[in-house]
Structure 1
Amino acid sequence: MNIYIGNLSYTVKESDLRQVMEDYGTVDSAKLIIDRDTNRSKGFAFVEMPIEAEAINAIKELDGAEYQGRQMVLKEATPKRSY
């Protein structure tokens, strides 16, 4: 399952995010979204967890939890729409 994680502190690194999510199960990938112009984090990321039950538990436990001074938003990522 692909998980959207929003409202992240701009100082969070992919390795930090992976470590937090691995407390809840197997993580295939953690991708922090970076602004091309400023080369800074945009404050959100996507984490891929292959076992759906672990991903659902991570969302349930971490949505609204405080991490590095901000309340994280976690939900199942939806595919990007094409217009």
Structure 2
Amino acid sequence: MKKLFIGNLAASTKENDLQTLFSEFGTVRSCKLVMDVFSGECKGFGFIEMEGHEARAAIAGLNGRDFNGKSIKVNFETPRPKRGRR
């Protein structure tokens, strides 16, 4: 199972729209958009989980593609570095 990062999403993006887009390349195991607490709109990025070969196909087919008026960025998730204690 691979986790993909999807960036540069339009604020009007819904999880169903994203899941439908990625399902062209295989089975979407999970879909999570990061939403703004106050406005309820998408913050511009989200995460999708797919099998490895399907994830690679999705990256090749969707990275840079126009979706809801914006050119989306699709790549494997890279863990954020741990931050030290303050």
> What's the TM-score once normalised by structure 2's chain length?
0.89
Please state how far the C-alpha of 1:81 moved relative to its aligned partner.
2.4
Q: Partners of 2:82 and 2:39 in 1: how far apart?
A: 26
Is residue 14 of structure 2 the alignment partner of residue 13 of structure 1?
yes
Matched letter for residue 35 of structure 2: I
**Amino acid across the alignment from 2:22:** M
Mark the runs of 5 or more structure 1 residues left unpaired by the alignment.
Answer: none
Q: Shift of the alpha carbon at 1:12? A: 0.9
* Aligned residue in 2 for 1:79: 79
In the TM superposition, what is the alpha-carbon distance from 1:35 to its structure 2 partner?
A: 1.7
- Runs of 4+ aligned residues of structure 1 deviating over 6 Å after TM superposition are none
RMSD, matched Cα: 1.0
Within 5 Å, which residues of 2 pair with 1:29-48?
Answer: 29-48=30-49
Runs (5+) with no aligned partner, structure 2: none
- Structure 2 CA distance, aligned partners of 1:30 and 1:45? 8
Of structures 1 and 2, the larger Rg is shown by 2
Q: Percent identity among equivalent residues? A: 37
For residues 20 and 41 of structure 2, the distance between their equivalents in structure 1, rounded to whole angstroms, comes to 20
Q: How many Å apart are 1:80 and its aligned residue?
A: 3.0
Deviations 1:12-37 (A, max 9, x none): 10011001101100111110001223
